[in-house]
Amino acid sequence: MDTIKRISTFKPELLEAFKKMILGINVQITEDCREKSHSRSPMGKWFFIKEIDADEIVTIVSQNHYIMSGLKLTDLIL
């Protein structure tokens, strides 16, 4: 029962991101995040969440192996 109580205190966005990471469901990044990345290489449209740190910092990878780290949950379209 402690686990259920602990999980219920997480933000819904964090739980949704964790679910998509575990199930391998792809996500998109916001236009603002895409513009701030200053990437010259093609990023692609869809990304997979590879890591979520304890401070809710996210690392994602695109289908063409472009890696972005240091993102916030608000940078993702879940």
pLDDT of residue 1: 53
Q: What angle do CA 19, 61, 43 make, to 5 degrees?
A: 130
Predicted TM-score of the model (pTM): 0.81
Task: From residue 45, give the alpha-carbon distance in Å to each of 3, 18, 58.
Answer: 35, 20, 17
As a whole number of angstroms, the distance between CA 34 and CA 54 comes to 24
25 contacts 47 by C-beta, under 8 angstroms: no
pLDDT of residue 77: 94
Is pLDDT larger for residue 1 or for residue 32?
A: 32
> 47: closest CA among 34, 63, 69?
63
CB atoms within 10 A of CB 51: 11
pLDDT of residue 5: 67
Going by pLDDT thresholds of 50, 70 and 90, the confidence category of residue 71 is very high
